[in-house]
């Protein structure tokens, strides 16, 4: 059975978690992804829309302790304010898990 890398409708709630990077860690829990996604949309409006796969990639990059991968993952976000917010959120979730 084959699965598309990204859904055609580009809805962030239906994004596939698979990523081409192998961090050797499990994926972030769906509930946490949804919580962060909702928080970003509330705080940043339409600018705060990220696909769940992008959020998961940022989280896994942070967990991997490989700074370059983390920076590359954050570069998909245009807003410096949103990048800072994501760093703070991911740091909190990484420390608590």
pLDDT one digit per residue (tens) for the chain, 97 residues = 343 444 455 544 444 445 554 444 456 677 788 888 888 889 988 777 788 888 888 888 887 778 888 888 899 888 899 999 998 887 776 655 5
Cα(71)–Cα(40) distance, integer angstroms: 19
pTM of the model: 0.62
Token reading at 58: 């940022």
Task: Give the number of other CB atoms < 10 A from CB of residue 77.
Answer: 20
């Amino acid at each position: 059975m084959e699965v598309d890398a990204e859904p055609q409708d580009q809805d962030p709630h239906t994004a596939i978690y698979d990523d081409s990077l192998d961090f050797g860690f499990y994926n972030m829990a769906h509930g946490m992804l949804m919580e962060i996604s909702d928080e970003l949309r509330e705080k940043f409006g339409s600018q705060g829309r990220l696909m769940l796969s992008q959020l998961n990639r940022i989280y896994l990059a942070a967990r991997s302790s490989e700074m370059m991968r983390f920076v590359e993952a954050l570069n998909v976000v245009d807003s410096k304010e949103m990048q800072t917010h994501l760093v703070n959120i991911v740091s909190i979730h990484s420390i608590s898990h």
